[in-house]
C-alpha cells in the first residue's frame, strides 16, 4: 500500500502528467467565487500599496522555482524542522505580499472551506497583479495542491541570483523546463517593483568590508545611474539595510516594456539584468521586446502560465492547506488522500520529513 502510494505521487511529478491535470475553471463548481474573491483581495491591497502587485508576481516565481508551485514559499514552519524558504536571503527581507494571500485565503475559506489551495491563490494573485499593473489578462489553469516541505536550502539552491551570468541564468531556467526566451520574457517582470541595496551594491562600491571602500562603476552600469545608486546605498550595506530603489525608476508600478529599453542604457539594476544585453542570444530577444510591447505582453502572459505548471502536485498528492502559513494538523490529515501525500513527502524531498509523522 505504502509503495503504491509513493508510486502514485511520484507520477504527479512527471511534467506530462501534471500538465494534463491543471485546468482553467477548476473551481467553477466547487467554489465559483474563488477567483473573484482573490481578485478583490488583491485589488484592495493594491489600492493601499501599489508595490504589492510586484511582490505578488515575484511570490509566484519564488514559489514555483522551489519544489514547484506548491505554496511552500508561504510556510513559516517546516514539519521536518529547520529554516524555511522564507528564511533564505533570496526571500528575507525582500519577499512581500504574504498578508494579501492570507486575506484572499480567509475570504475563500469563508465561502468554500477547505477547497481552494494556497498554491492556486498565489497563481491567481500573480495574474491579478499583472492585470492591475499591465492591463494584461490571462486564464490560470488551476488544481495545484499545497506541499508540506519548505527549506531554506532549497530556496538557496534553486533561485537564480542577481550576480548570475547569462549562462547561469539559462541553466537555472532550463532546470525548470523553461527556455532561454522564457527567461528573457519573464525577466521583464523587473519593470515593476523594487530592490534592497544589498542585491546591487557591489556594482557601485568595491572593498566594502574594509575601512577604505572605493566608488566603482560596474561595466554594465551608466556612470550617472551608478552615482545615484551609490548615493542611495552606503558602502556598509548588509542584507538588513532597509533602503530600496525602483527596478524601473520611470514607471515602477506599470508593467510595460521599459525594462528592455533600460538595459542598453546601462540601467539594468542587477548584474543578471545587464547580462541579458551582453549575451548575443539574449540581446536579440531584448531588442525585439524593446521594439514591440504587445509582443512582450503576449509572451509574458504565456510564460507565466508555463511557469505556473512547474512540478505541480495534483490529484491525491499534497493537500489543500487550511492556513497558508502552516501545513494541516496531522489530525485532519487522516484521510487516505492525506496519508498518501504524507507518505510521498520523504521520497520527493531531501529533508527528514518522515520524522514528523
Contact 297, 134 (CB under 8 A): yes
The reply to whether 169 sits near ligand HEM by the rule CB under 6 A is: yes
Q: Three-class SS of residue 351?
A: coil
Annotated catalytic residue: which of 39, 58, 60, 62? Answer: 62
Give, as ranges, the residues between 48 and 77 that touch ligand NAG (CB under 6 A): 76
Question: Measured between alpha carbons, how far is 257 from 248 in angstroms, rounded to an integer?
Answer: 10
Return phi, psi of residue 251, to 5°: -135, 75
Element (H, E) at 244: strand 244-246
Q: Which is nearer to ligand NAG, 244 or 292 (CB)?
A: 292
Site map (CB under 6 A) of ligand NAG, residues 213-252, x = contact:
-x-x-----------------x-x----------------
**C-alpha cell read off for 316:** 491525491
Size of residue set near ligand NAG by CB under 6 A: 19
Contact 340, 172 (CB under 8 A): no
CA 80 to chain centre: 23
DSSP 191-240: GS-EEEGGGTGGGTEESTTSSS-EE---TTS-HHHHHHHHHHS-TT--TT
Site map (CB under 6 A) of ligand NAG, residues 12-51, x = contact:
----------------------------------------
For residue 23, the cross-strand partners are 142
Site map (CB under 6 A) of ligand HEM, residues 196-225, x = contact:
x-xx--------------------------
Q: Is 248 annotated as a binding residue?
A: yes
By CB under 6 A, name the one of 44, 206, 228, 305 that touches ligand NAG. 206
| CA-based nearest residue to 74, from 18, 125, 32 | 125
For residue 244, the cross-strand partners are 196
- Kindly give, in sequence order, each residue whose CB lies less than 8 Å from that of residue 105, ignoring residues fewer than 6 positions away: 116, 118, 121, 323, 324
Residue 60 among the catalytic residues: no
Q: Which listed option, ligand NAG, ligand HEM, none, makes contact with residue 218 (CB within 5 to 8 Å by class)? A: none
Q: Could you tell me the smallest distance in angstroms from the CB atom of residue 228 to ligand HEM?
A: 17
The reply to whether 147 sits near ligand HEM by the rule CB under 6 A is: no
Give, as ranges, the residues between 45 and 64 that touch ligand HEM (CB under 6 A): 51, 54-55, 57-58, 61
Give, as ranges, the residues between 89 and 118 that touch ligand NAG (CB under 6 A): 106
Question: Measured between alpha carbons, how far is 263 from 182 in angstroms, rounded to an integer?
Answer: 17
Q: Could you tell me the smallest distance in angstroms from the CB atom of residue 62 to ligand HEM?
A: 8
Contact 312, 69 (CB under 8 A): yes
Q: Is 343 annotated as a binding residue?
A: no
The reply to whether 21 sits near ligand HEM by the rule CB under 6 A is: no
Question: Measured between alpha carbons, how far is 217 from 321 in angstroms, rounded to an integer?
Answer: 47
Which residues sit in the known binding site for heme b? 190
Positions that interact with ligand HEM (CB under 6 A): 51, 54-55, 57-58, 61, 94, 96, 160-162, 164, 169, 183, 186-187, 189-190, 192-196, 198-199, 247, 270, 272
Which residues sit in the known binding site for Ca(2+)? 63, 66, 68, 70, 72, 85, 191, 248, 251, 256
Residues carrying an active site annotation: 62
Amino acid at each position: 500500500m505504502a509503495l503504491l502510494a509513493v508510486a502514485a505521487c511520484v507520477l504527479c511529478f512527471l511534467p506530462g502528467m501534471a500538465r494534463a491535470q491543471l485546468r482553467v475553471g477548476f473551481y467553477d463548481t466547487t467554489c465559483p467565487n474563488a477567483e473573484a474573491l482573490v481578485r478583490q483581495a488583491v485589488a484592495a491591497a493594491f489600492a493601499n500599496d501599489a508595490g504589492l502587485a510586484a511582490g505578488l508576481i515575484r511570490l509566484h516565481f519564488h514559489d514555483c522555482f522551489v519544489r514547484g508551485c506548491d505554496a511552500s514559499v508561504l510556510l513559516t514552519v517546516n514539519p521536518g524542522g529547520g529554516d524555511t524558504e522564507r528564511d533564505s536571503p533570496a526571500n528575507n527581507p525582500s519577499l512581500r505580499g504574504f498578508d494579501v494571500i492570507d486575506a484572499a485565503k480567509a475570504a475563500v475559506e469563508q465561502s468554500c472551506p477547505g477547497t481552494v489551495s494556497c498554491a492556486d491563490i498565489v497563481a491567481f494573485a500573480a495574474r491579478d497583479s499583472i492585470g492591475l499593473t499591465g492591463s494584461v489578462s490571462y486564464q490560470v489553469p488551476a488544481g495545484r495542491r499545497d506541499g508540506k516541505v519548505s527549506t531554506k536550502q532549497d530556496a538557496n539552491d534553486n533561485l537564480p541570483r542577481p550576480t548570475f551570468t547569462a549562462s547561469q541564468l539559462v541553466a537555472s531556467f532550463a532546470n525548470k523546463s523553461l527556455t532561454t526566451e522564457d527567461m528573457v520574457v519573464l525577466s521583464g517582470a523587473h519593470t515593476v517593483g523594487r530592490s534592497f541595496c544589498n542585491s546591487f551594491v557591489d556594482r557601485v562600491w568595491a572593498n566594502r568590508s574594509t575601512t577604505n571602500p572605493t566608488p566603482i562603476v560596474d561595466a554594465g552600469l551608466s556612470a550617472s545611474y551608478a552615482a545615484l545608486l551609490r548615493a542611495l546605498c552606503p558602502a556598509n550595506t548588509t542584507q538588513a539595510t532597509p533602503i530600496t530603489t525602483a527596478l524601473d525608476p520611470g514607471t515602477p508600478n506599470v508593467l510595460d516594456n521599459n525594462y528592455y529599453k533600460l538595459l542598453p542604457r546601462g540601467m539594468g539594476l542587477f548584474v543578471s539584468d545587464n547580462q541579458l544585453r551582453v549575451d548575443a542570444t539574449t540581446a536579440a530577444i531584448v531588442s525585439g521586446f524593446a521594439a514591440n510591447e504587445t509582443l512582450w505582453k503576449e509572451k509574458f502572459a504565456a510564460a507565466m502560465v508555463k511557469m505556473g505548471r512547474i512540478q505541480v502536485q495534483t490529484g491525491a498528492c499534497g493537500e489543500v492547506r487550511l492556513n497558508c502559513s502552516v501545513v494541516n494538523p496531522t489530525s485532519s490529515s487522516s484521510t487516505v488522500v492525506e496519508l498518501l501525500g504524507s507518505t510521498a513527502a520523504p521520497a520527493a524531498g531531501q529533508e527528514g520529513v518522515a520524522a514528523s509523522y
